[in-house]
Amino acid sequence: MKCLVILSIATIFVGVESYVVPTPRVQLLYPRGFQVSIPDSPGVQLFAFHGNINREMEGIEAGEYSADVLRPRNNRWTYKNPTAPLNPGDTLYFWTMVHVDGVGYQKLFQQFYVPGDCPRIPDDTVSPRRSGIDIRISS
C-alpha cells in the first residue's frame, strides 16, 4: 500500500508544469522614470514589482517602489513609474512575482545598471499640462 501511495504522489508532481518567470524588460522613460515589464502569457493573473534605486533589496522586502499590476496592456504586464529619478550610473535592484493560475512565482535578486548611453522612450502618460508647462503664444 505504501508503494502505491508514493507512486501516486510522484505521478501527480510529474504531471504539474512549472511556470518560469521571464526576465523583465527595463526601460527608461523620457523625461524621467522607468518601466519594468514581462510579456503576457496564458494563465497570468497578476504581475508584482518591488524595487530600490542604488540600495540592494533585503530579501523579499516591499522596496521604495512597489505595485501589483492587475491587467496587461499591449500584450505586456507593465509596472510604470514616471517620476522615479533613475539616472546614468544608478542601479535598480528589484524582484518580481507573477501569479499564474492561482500560484505565485518569484524571481529574486535582479538588478539593472543604467549606462550613460541608455535611451529613454517617450512616456505616453505625460502631457504638457500634467507636467506644469503652460505654453501661450501672444501677439
The confidence score (pLDDT) of residue 4 equals 43
The confidence score (pLDDT) of residue 64 equals 96
Burial (CB count within 10 angstroms: exposed 0-12, middle 13-18, buried 19+), residue 130: exposed
In the DSSP assignment, the letter for residue 5 is H
> Cα separation of 25 and 69, whole Å?
15
Considering the entire predicted model, what is its pTM? 0.75
Q: Give the pLDDT means over successive 10-residue stretches in the chain (139 positions).
A: 43 59 94 95 96 94 96 96 93 97 96 88 60 42
What residue ranges define each of the domains in the chain, with the CATH number in brackets? 19-117 (2.60.40.2140)
